[in-house]
Amino acid sequence: MRIPNGQETARIMPEPFVSADVAAAFLSLKRRYLLELARRGIPGAYPVGNGVQRKIWVFRLSELVAAITKTAIPNSARICDPNSGSPR
C-alpha cells in the first residue's frame, strides 16, 4: 500500500482465531477447562453461531494470555525488590 508521499506502509493483519484444541495446548490447559472458562466469560473467547444446546468457541491467543496474566499474579505476589525488602 502506498501513501501520497511515496512511502510504503505495512499491512496490518488481524490476529487469527484458533480452535479450543489449539488454545488449550498453547496455555497448557485441558480443553474442557478452557471451555468452562469461555462459558464464564474469559476475555479472548468468542462463541460462533447460535447453537441452541452447544456453542462453538474460537479464541484469540493474545487476549487469553493477557486475561490470564492479569488475574494470575495478584499485587501481593509480585517479585520483591531486594533493596526494598519483603512485600509483606
Q: Distance between CA 27 and CA 67 in Å, rounded?
A: 12
- pLDDT, tens digit, 9 for 90 and up, residues 13-27: 889 999 999 999 999
Q: What is the pLDDT of residue 68?
A: 84
Q: Distance between CA 30 and CA 55 in Å, rounded?
A: 18
Domain positions in the chain = 20-69
Q: What is the pLDDT of residue 39?
A: 92
The mean pLDDT of the chain is 81
Q: Distance between CA 7 and CA 52 in Å, rounded?
A: 50
Q: Please state, as a whole number, how many other Cβ atoms lie within 10 Å of the Cβ of residue 83.
A: 5
The whole model's pTM is what? 0.64
More confident residue, 3 or 34: 34
Residue 65 backbone dihedrals phi, psi, to 5 degrees: -60, -45
